Amino acid sequence: MQPLRVFVTRIIPEEGLSLIREACRGEIWTPTGVVPLDTAPSELAAVDREAQGRTPGSVPREVLLEKARGVDGLLSLLTDPVDAEVIAAAGPQLKVISNCAVGYDNIDVACATARRIPVGNTPGILTETTADFAFALLLAAARRVAEGDRTVRTGQWITWGPTTLLGFDVHHATLGIIGFGRIGRAVARRARGFDMTVLFHDPAAAHLPESEREGARPVDLETLLRESDFISLHTPLNEATRRLIRRETLALMKPTAVLVNTARGGVVDTDDLYEALRTGRIAYAALDVTDPEPIPADHPLVSLYNVLIAPHIASASRSTRGRMALFAAQNLLAGLRGERLPYCVNPQVYER
């Protein structure tokens, strides 16, 4: 049998790419152009190294539309909009879309489902790594770590100062978690070690048994916003959560509140957040995700001292990214073989 054809939209860790290379033919988009799937790992690593430290960018729309044409499987990333146009451009032979991410708001799942194309994601494996990073952001914002580093690097560390860079205590503070799925709960577990009071708001988790609440208390959104010292977002991006954090919800927060977002940029209205931080309506924001993403370096939000922004790296530990690539490859190969995807976001495609 002819090996099936795939398009992989970025160099992913070898843990996954090697499996795909063994079973398929096709191409990969790299920051220096599209290369055959069987390009030697050392050559791919060199391209990756060359792009390190610079944002490598993602596959341009016209390249995605062209390269998706005629493939049996597409391995995409959260930066690639796989919408109705891309799915149509691929053609009727498309058997699977495998997203190398837990989130899949970049994919038109309804369109894929209508065409009975299974869509895969990588849940579970990045839970603890992402929760670690949400906590890292929370601590760094509370204790002004990034500003401290800038103070030293710019030669402004003159002496020890009794009022220098005063921040907020994390221990014994109240943490409000919006979205109490796997990652939200993993953040709550970490908060217990800091003796925090933990509140959560998640209509989907309202009936979670006490034993699975990690010591957190369910509250309505308004109570959470009013009572929390730290607010951490862990919802998917969908119509119910888009711009959940905007002028009206920011207005309910404490002036000392610190907002942490490792979910999706679109859950927060960027202009309203900018205004809230600029005017001191809330104290600080620590963001791993932004809208737009990437956020340009000359964006007004980036000019504020009381915001810390990371380039969407919450799941970026070596081992987790390796396992994500492996899961994404397993989903892709299962779909190509006509088998059920191990991690499928639209299992309706298997219903008769």
Positions annotated as catalytic residues are: 264, 293, 312
Question: Of residues 295-334, which lie at the interface with ligand GLV (CB under 6 A)?
Answer: 315
Question: What's the min distance (Å) between Cβ of 126 and ligand GLV?
Answer: 6
Cα–Cα distance for residue pair 186/79, rounded to 1 Å:
25
CB atoms within 10 A of CB 22: 11
Instruction: Say whether the peptide bond before residue 347 is cis (omega within 30 degrees of 0).
Output: no
Work out the angle at residue 77's Cα, subtended by the Cα atoms of residues 262 and 47, and round it to the nearest 5 degrees: 110
**Position among 101, 138, 245, 257 found at the interface with ligand GLV (CB under 6 A):** 101
Residue 16 or 196: the one with the smaller Cβ distance to ligand GLV is: 16
Question: What's the min distance (Å) between Cβ of 284 and ligand GLV?
Answer: 22
Residue 130 or 249: the one with the smaller Cβ distance to ligand GLV is: 130
Buried b (16+ CB within 10 A) or exposed e, 227-258: bbbbbbbbbebeeebbbbbbeebbeebbeebb
7: Cβ contacts below 8 Å, ≥ 6 apart: 26, 27, 28, 29, 64, 67, 68, 71, 73, 74, 75
Question: What's the min distance (Å) between Cβ of 324 and ligand GLV?
Answer: 7
Segment near ligand GLV (CB under 6 A); pick from 82-90, 97-105, 152-160, 205-213: 97-105
CB 10 within 8 A of CB 74: no
Residue span 19-58 as binding mask against ligand GLV, x where in contact by CB under 6 A, dash where not: ----------------------------------------
DSSP helix, strand, coil percent of the chain (3-state; round to 5): 40, 15, 45
Residue 126 or 138: the one with the smaller Cβ distance to ligand GLV is: 126
Residue 105 or 275: the one with the smaller Cβ distance to ligand GLV is: 105
From residue 61, give the alpha-carbon distance in Å to each of 65, 67, 110, 221, 289: 6, 10, 20, 38, 21
Instruction: Please compute Rg for the chain using Cα positions.
Output: 22
If one asks whether residue 102 binds ligand GLV (CB under 6 A), the answer comes out as yes
Question: What's the min distance (Å) between Cβ of 340 and ligand GLV?
Answer: 21
If one asks whether residue 103 binds ligand GLV (CB under 6 A), the answer comes out as yes
Strands 258-261 and 174-178: unpaired
Cα–Cα distance for residue pair 147/311, rounded to 1 Å:
17
Residue 267 or 307: the one with the smaller Cβ distance to ligand GLV is: 267
If one asks whether residue 241 binds ligand GLV (CB under 6 A), the answer comes out as no
Q: Which residues pair with 233 in a beta bridge?
A: 178, 261
Residue span 104-143 as binding mask against ligand GLV, x where in contact by CB under 6 A, dash where not: ----------------------x-----------------
Residue 63 or 313: the one with the smaller Cβ distance to ligand GLV is: 313
Match 């190509």 to its residue by tokens: 336
Question: What's the min distance (Å) between Cβ of 160 and ligand GLV?
Answer: 39
Question: What's the min distance (Å) between Cβ of 346 and ligand GLV?
Answer: 16
Segment near ligand GLV (CB under 6 A); pick from 101-109, 134-142, 200-208, 274-282: 101-109
In the complex, the residues that contact ligand GLV under the rule CB under 6 A are: 78, 101-103, 126, 315
